[in-house]
Chain A
């Protein structure tokens, strides 16, 4: 059974860098894109970006200037960094998997979510 286990700091001050990591167990990184998605309190889901096992990335244009997603194939994990955080970056952050094979596009597995609060 595939599991995505994520962790990172939950409380940040404005201007600091958010850093989260997601470890994948029960499967390989190959054949999938690995995504970060967030949900601000009381709001809907927002896609942050993705990375393939080979390191090819794609980012939401609204966050692109502050986002870096990286992958560590030796540890079977991938990471998110969001720089210069502000209060509006307060959200539950999810890591998620997307199979890149087949015709149907879907996010099939998600991490449990990490609440990140930005407050001075």
Chain B
């Protein structure tokens, strides 16, 4: 059981916009910023969004993030086939004094 709650799956067709939610609590998302990661099988996880809504250099602006209270969301617009991957939210937890993650959302591009 993951500390942060994500839907297990999401899907969309090429060109569509999809959003993935992430729900937490006061000790994690409510107190600290949220990061989002993209995982393709067999490769190192990639940082997509940090600080709730900031994109690292090289990440397309099709990816955007937001946070409100104890929830966050990742939006992917102009969906592409290479976006098919697993997506995880993460935040520092002040009670655990460590990182907590969502259970992951498997995105399928139909």
A35 neighbours in B (Cβ, 8 Å): 99
| Number of A positions contacting B (CB below 8 A) | 27
Interface check A58, CB cutoff 8 A: yes
A113 neighbours in B (Cβ, 8 Å): 42, 44
Do B44 and A108 touch across chains, with their CB atoms under 8 A apart?
no
Question: Bound complex: CA of A66 vs CA of B97, how far in Å?
Answer: 18
In the complex, the number of residue pairs spanning A and B with C-beta atoms less than 8 Å apart equals: 65
- Give the nearest-CB partner of B103 in chain A: A44
Within 8 A of B (CB), among A1-28: 4
Q: Looking at the complex, which of B10-18, B71-79, B88-96 is the stretch in contact with chain A?
A: B88-96
A105 neighbours in B (Cβ, 8 Å): 32-33, 92
Do B88 and A45 touch across chains, with their CB atoms under 8 A apart?
yes
| Number of B positions contacting A (CB below 8 A) | 27
A61 neighbours in B (Cβ, 8 Å): 96
Max count, chain B CB within 10 A of own CB: residue among A103, A105, A109: A105
Interface check B27, CB cutoff 8 A: no
Report A110 CB to chain B, min CB distance, Å.
4
B50 neighbours in A (Cβ, 8 Å): 104, 106, 108
Within 8 A of B (CB), among A78-114: 94, 96, 103-113
Do B98 and A94 touch across chains, with their CB atoms under 8 A apart?
no
The answer to whether residues A45 and B92 also contact, given A105-B32, A108-B47, A108-B50 and a CB cut-off of 8 A, is: no
Interface string of A20-50 (1 = CB under 8 A from B): 0000000000000001010000011111011
Interface check B68, CB cutoff 8 A: no
Do B102 and A44 touch across chains, with their CB atoms under 8 A apart?
yes
Interface check A119, CB cutoff 8 A: no
Question: Bound complex: CA of A107 vs CA of B104, how far in Å?
Answer: 16
Closest 3 A/B residue pairs (Cβ): A44-B103, A47-B99, A45-B101
Interface residues of B (CB under 8 A from A): 2, 32-33, 35, 37, 42-47, 50-51, 54, 56, 88, 90, 92, 96-104
Interface residues of A (CB under 8 A from B): 4, 35, 37, 43-47, 49-50, 58-61, 94, 96, 103-113
